[in-house]
């Protein structure tokens, strides 16, 4: 069984810059200390401005990163991001300040990596070629283990500078993901083509039919957790990865969970996956049960 998503592939220096800055603000160590040094001060100034202007930080970053894939102008990026974050009326007086802060961040990133745009022309091909060969079978396995309609029809895959040597995220409202372009798989037991399938599998889970019973603030986490064993099972079928408790724990640490949560979540997720496999409820019901498990209330039945 195979399935297709129409993919638009692109490489983006602006998204690379924002991806690296957001990682730095989350206290994740960047692979290149010189990039960390260049971005540290402008990233902190941007974060301080968000606090001073009472702009919700998490919401701001959730919009500015995917929007930067298609908005070239810094002023327009600041205006659209702020409008989506705090509304048009609140955005207007803040646009100039955030335009300047984003421009400063972009300039610092460009100075640290002056040849990045030249090197970007070949960064897409290795992963795209692997995806064309292995992706449809992986997606088919995902559908087989969930339900028809689980996948989006089309999505954007944005390749970014490997600031973390394994970073990336799915942006559900935008049907877009960003993933670091790397010459080798950062986790040998988890090929990047499998991680790409996992991120693509998340993009439709913000539809009301899946998300209504899940706490909105936790939807991305619940969706990400649920699709880990699903994707690993699809990968195991085509001999790209294993799907056992050890593999689930490895994927959690590499793809999703904060280090202090990964161990606790691994046991919970393995239990949920075993129960789901035995009962095979509707996918929305399964997501709601996983959301309850995250609260530590293990009383909700899947069936």
Residue 276: pLDDT above 50? yes
What's this model's pTM, rounded to 2 decimal places?
A: 0.94
Give the model's confidence band at 261: pLDDT under 50 very low, under 70 low, under 90 confident, else very high: confident
Give the model's confidence band at 302: pLDDT under 50 very low, under 70 low, under 90 confident, else very high: very low
Bridge-partner residues for 179, per DSSP?
A: 159, 168
Question: 76-90, 118-132, 142-156, 269-283: which has the minimum mean pLDDT?
Answer: 118-132
CA distance 286 to 295: 15
Q: What is the pLDDT of residue 259?
A: 67
Q: What is the pLDDT of residues 77-87, one digit of tens each?
A: 999 999 999 99
Helix (H), strand (E) at residue 214: none
When the pLDDT of each residue in the chain is averaged and rounded to a whole number, the result is 93
CB burial of residue 291 (10 Å; 0-12, 13-18, 19+): buried
Residue 210: pLDDT above 90? yes
Q: What is the pLDDT of residue 123?
A: 77
Give the model's confidence band at 118: pLDDT under 50 very low, under 70 low, under 90 confident, else very high: confident
Q: What is the pLDDT of residue 116?
A: 84
DSSP single-letter state for residue 216 = G
Mean pLDDT confidence for 255-261: 78
Q: What is the pLDDT of residues 160-184, one digit of tens each?
A: 999 999 999 999 999 999 999 988 8
Domain segments of the chain: what residues? 12-120, 125-294
Give the model's confidence band at 295: pLDDT under 50 very low, under 70 low, under 90 confident, else very high: confident
Do the strands 176-180 and 168-171 form a parallel or antiparallel pair, or are they unpaired? Answer: antiparallel
> Strands across the sheet with 176-180, in order?
6-11, 154-160, 176-180, 168-171
DSSP single-letter state for residue 153 = S
Residue 1: pLDDT above 80? no
- Token output for 12: 């983006």
CA distance 116 to 13: 8
Q: What is the pLDDT of residue 115?
A: 86
Residue 301: pLDDT above 70? no
Cβ–Cβ under 8 Å, residues 214 and 205: no
CA distance 251 to 169: 14
Question: 45-54, 156-165, 215-224, 254-263: which has the minimum mean pLDDT?
Answer: 254-263
């Amino acid at each position: 069984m195979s399935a297709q998503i129409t993919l638009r592939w692109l490489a983006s220096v602006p998204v690379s810059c924002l991806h690296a800055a957001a990682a730095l603000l989350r206290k994740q160590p960047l692979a290149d200390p010189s990039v960390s040094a260049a971005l540290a001060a402008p990233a902190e100034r941007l974060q301080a401005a968000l606090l001073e202007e009472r702009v919700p930080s998490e919401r701001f970053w959730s919009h500015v990163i995917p929007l930067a894939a298609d908005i070239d102008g810094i002023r327009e990026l600041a205006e659209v991001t702020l409008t989506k974050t705090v509304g048009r009326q609140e955005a207007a007086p803040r646009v100039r300040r955030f335009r300047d802060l984003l421009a400063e961040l972009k300039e610092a990133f460009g100075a640290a990596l002056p040849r990045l745009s030249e090197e970007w022309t070949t960064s897409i091909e290795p992963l795209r070629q692997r995806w064309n060969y292995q992706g449809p079978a992986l997606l088919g396995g995902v559908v087989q283990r969930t339900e028809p309609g689980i996948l989006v029809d089309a999505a954007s895959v944005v390749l970014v500078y490997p600031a973390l040597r394994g970073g990336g995220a799915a942006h559900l409202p935008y049907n877009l993901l960003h993933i670091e372009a790397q010459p080798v798989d950062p986790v040998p037991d988890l090929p990047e083509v499998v991680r790409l399938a996992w991120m693509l599998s998340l993009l439709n889970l913000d539809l009301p039919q899946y998300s209504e019973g899940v706490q909105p603030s936790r939807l991305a986490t619940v969706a990400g957790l649920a699709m880990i064993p699903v994707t690993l099972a699809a990968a195991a079928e085509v001999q790209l990865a294993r799907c056992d408790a050890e593999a689930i724990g490895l994927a959690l640490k590499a793809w999703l969970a904060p280090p202090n949560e990964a161990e606790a979540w691994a046991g919970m997720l393995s239990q949920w996956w075993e129960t789901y496999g035995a009962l095979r409820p509707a996918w929305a019901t399964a997501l709601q049960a996983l959301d309850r498990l995250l609260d530590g209330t293990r009383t909700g039945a899947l069936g």
